[in-house]
Structure 1
């Protein structure tokens, strides 16, 4: 599916199966509904504090669903599981050396992205390593209704200056999608907004509809 250049796509962040209120079966059922409800570019799977064997079982099922829907499946901070379950990429949150090592070892076989930077200098240092994308936010830190102002500011600055694609983390509601759209980031990440919703499919459908409308209005200006 081809979108206008000014139209960001959605990235889903799936909570860890060990997190409160998010059992594996429930997460997989929600993922099914979300993937069927509208365009999703990629899905990041959070391993959290889940033991390796349990997470690998969960990830294998999730990756199969994500790839069947035409999206990219990305594993947080677990290159071994990513390889075992045939994921498309890894998301590394950690020291610069760990990011550099992952990029050197796995690019271009896997997508290697990173994030959780808190100021411009750190972002530029990471950017010099040439990750496949930069995530402005921290996986699992979208507990407030609106996107964090720092993430919005950094994403807007990055998108205007750097060719490496940006993902901006939205809040736990989709009421602030306009602020995320205004950053010009190529992707908008939804986690709690989908996986804590009573109707996750409706959230994905509404988010895609809003982004279509914003893109069309922006083109007309």
Structure 2
């Protein structure tokens, strides 16, 4: 049987972690969550570390990895924040020079994920340099989301050829099945899930998990 894709959650920008902790715990309790990208709003380094210290244990309690991400305009040191805040890794938008620097600094001690890759060459370079996963299809910093056909084409190409895992962003609930059909190891759920009530959020995640199981079963036939 084909392996089942697992869910990857992406939080909204976090400013008040204590207000988000309950809904985050509900999300992580609802299904098989592989990882959560904790997106931190711009703040000083100490604030970022303290935010992460509140949220990371909630996620890790459910055996999910914590990937920290900062806004483009944030000049804080993400490696220091991850280390002192207890994250399992960091997620960054692709920049070749910065990516090289992060690979050297992390030395494999924490995971390194990368997204906003504009070309196949960028993806291959990141994979060869040591990215722990590649992400396709997430909204770019300017808000643009690639068409679903482009996302599935790129993810299918990657999953068929490369060993480095990939995360595929499902921009709507209805696109989860389509993205899972690419063979991607992880499916990132849309931001809209966080607008749901706690009960509806749990139902949405359970439904997504069921969809991933059904896709794996159909591909194994």
Structures share a fold, TM > 0.5?
Answer: yes
- What residue in structure 1 maps to residue 157 of structure 2? 157
- What residue in structure 2 maps to residue 57 of structure 1? 50
Q: CA RMSD, aligned part only?
A: 2.3
- What residue in structure 2 maps to residue 181 of structure 1? 180
d(CA) in 2 for partners of 1:145, 1:31:
25
Identify if the C-alpha distance between structure 1 residues 214 and 45 changes in structure 2 by more than 3 Å, giving closer, same or farther: same
- What residue in structure 2 maps to residue 125 of structure 1? 125
Conserved 8 A contact 2:89-2:111: yes
Structure 1 moving runs of 4+ over 4 Å: 143-147
- CA displacement 1:180-209 (0-9 Å, x = unmatched): 011111100114132122321111111001
d(CA) in 1 for partners of 2:139, 2:80:
19
d(CA) in 2 for partners of 1:140, 1:123:
15
Q: Give matches, 1:185-200, under 5 Å.
A: 185-198=184-197, 199-200=200-201
Identify if the C-alpha distance between structure 1 residues 139 and 16 changes in structure 2 by more than 3 Å, giving closer, same or farther: farther
Identify if the C-alpha distance between structure 1 residues 217 and 73 changes in structure 2 by more than 3 Å, giving closer, same or farther: same
Conserved 8 A contact 2:68-2:89: yes
- What residue in structure 1 maps to residue 74 of structure 2? none
Q: After TM superposition, give the deviation of residue 50 of structure 1 in Å.
A: 4.1
For these two proteins, the number of residue pairs brought into alignment is 211
Conserved 8 A contact 2:17-2:55: no
Identify if the C-alpha distance between structure 1 residues 139 and 99 changes in structure 2 by more than 3 Å, giving closer, same or farther: farther
d(CA) in 2 for partners of 1:145, 1:97:
24
Conserved 8 A contact 1:147-1:180: no
Identify if the C-alpha distance between structure 1 residues 54 and 88 changes in structure 2 by more than 3 Å, giving closer, same or farther: same
- CA displacement 1:94-153 (0-9 Å, x = unmatched): 411111111122132111111111221221222221211101134677x89997433222
**Structure 2: where are the runs of 5+ without partners?**
71-77
d(CA) in 2 for partners of 1:71, 1:113:
15
Q: Give matches, 1:91-110, under 5 Å.
A: 91-110=91-110
d(CA) in 1 for partners of 2:51, 2:110:
20
TM-score of the two chains, using structure 1 as the length reference: 0.86
Identify if the C-alpha distance between structure 1 residues 144 and 32 changes in structure 2 by more than 3 Å, giving closer, same or farther: farther
**Structure 1: where are the runs of 5+ without partners?**
none
